[in-house]
Amino acid sequence: MSKKQYNNITIYYHCETIKSDTILDNLFKTISDILKNKGLSLPNSNQSIYLCKSDLEFKIKSITLKNGVIGKTNYLLKRLYIKSVDFEHEIIPPQDSALNSRSITNIITHELTHSYQFEKLGLVSYRTAPSWKIEGMAEWVSNSSSAKTGDALPLYVKGESYDNTINCDKELWEKTFLYFVSRVRADYLLSYKQITEDVFWNTKYDTDELDKEIRGAIIHGNYIFDNFVFQDTLTNE
């Protein structure tokens, strides 16, 4: 693999998939800007990002046996692995046609957010933090979800996770939906209520009560997530 250095970030890539340094330059600048706009910084420690050219390479390098994983961070080794990407269009195709494709910048930003979290919290606090905070913040920073908002948000407001209108494998959808809900919670707290990051980490939330509060704010039009506006009341509470 070839490599290019950006301060303390080293990007490893294949020349046959990335034929111009400009692609990497733009990628790094975009990611840095996304983090900065959310009040975060790049990790302080050295980080290595591996852009894989095949699913097999990704699975071997990241030691990932599960299907559907598109990015993985090894916190102790400070290495980030990204699944094979269509760099011409800068996307990672979805696992299912009912889901969103993800951009390479979204996924790298998501994984770098995990590295940032690990540095900020330390090993023990990071490993014991609620997964919805860890994944929700990473999705909030990258401002993207695999689940489509038009499908997932109405279900969330109704307090459901799946119905027969979702044209997607149920197990895959429900896993994706959990990430979506985590992003909604993080966005509500960090963007809408504008709490500080320290308050976010240090507060023990009752997620049932938090979800009820968020649903109410959505229904009454006080909180709009991802520019999705409800035209009527969608609640069974």
C-alpha to C-alpha distances, 25 to 11, 31, 86, nearest whole angstrom = 10, 10, 17
Q: Which residue has the higher pLDDT, 190 or 66?
A: 190
Question: At residue 40, what is the residue type?
Answer: L
Give the mean pLDDT of 40-62.
90
For the chain, the average pLDDT equals 90
Q: What is the pLDDT of residue 31?
A: 93
Residues 95 and 200 in one domain: no
Q: Which residue has the higher pLDDT, 192 or 84?
A: 192
Domain that holds residue 147: 129-237
Q: Is 221 helix (H, G, I), strand (E, B) or coil?
A: coil
Residues 173 and 192 in one domain: yes
The widest CA-to-CA distance across the chain, in whole angstroms, is: 55
- Residue 44 CA to residue 206 CA, distance in Å, equals 32
- Residue 158 CA to residue 212 CA, distance in Å, equals 10
Give the mean pLDDT of 219-225.
93
Segment among 32-46, 88-102, 215-229 with least mean pLDDT: 88-102
Say how many domains are in the chain: 2
Q: What is the pLDDT of residue 234?
A: 46
Q: What is the pLDDT of residue 231?
A: 64
Residues 205 and 234 in one domain: yes
Residue 237 binned pLDDT confidence (cut-offs 50, 70, 90): very low
DSSP character string of 68-97: T--EEEETTTTEEEE---BTTTTEE--SST
Last residue of a domain, one of 103, 128, 153: 128
Residues 118 and 135 in one domain: no
Last residue of a domain, one of 109, 128, 147: 128
Residues 135 and 123 in one domain: no
- Percent of the chain beyond pLDDT 90? 62
Q: What is the pLDDT of residue 232?
A: 53
Tokens of 131: 């997964």
CB contact at 8 A, 50 and 81 = yes
Residues 103 and 184 in one domain: no
Q: What is the pLDDT of residue 91?
A: 79
Per-residue buried b or exposed e for 149-165, using 16+ beta carbons within 10 Å of the residue's own CB: bebbbbbbbeeebeeee
Residues 18 and 33 in one domain: yes
CB contact at 8 A, 140 and 194 = no
Closest CA to 178 of 198, 202, 207: 207
Flag whether pLDDT at 236 surpasses 80. no
DSSP 8-class letter at 3: E
Q: Are strands 79-82 and 47-51 parallel, antiparallel or unpaired?
A: parallel
Half-sphere exposure of 75 (CA within 13 A, CB side): 14
**For 63-169, where are the alpha helices, taking DSSP H only?**
104-121, 123-128, 131-142, 149-157
CB contact at 8 A, 150 and 157 = no
- Percent of the chain beyond pLDDT 70? 95
Residues 86 and 38 in one domain: yes
Residues 169 and 97 in one domain: no
- Judging by beta carbons within 10 Å of its beta carbon (0-12, 13-18, 19+), is residue 64 exposed, middle or buried? middle
Residue 139 binned pLDDT confidence (cut-offs 50, 70, 90): very high
pLDDT tens-digit profile of 74-129? 888 999 999 877 766 677 888 888 899 888 899 999 999 999 999 999 999 999 99
Last residue of a domain, one of 75, 102, 128: 128
Residues 157 and 43 in one domain: no
Segment among 54-68, 109-123, 148-162 with least mean pLDDT: 54-68
pTM, whole model, 2 decimals?
Answer: 0.90
Residues 194 and 229 in one domain: yes
Q: Which helix (DSSP H) or strand (DSSP E) does residue 49 occupy? A: strand 47-51
Residues 5 and 80 in one domain: yes
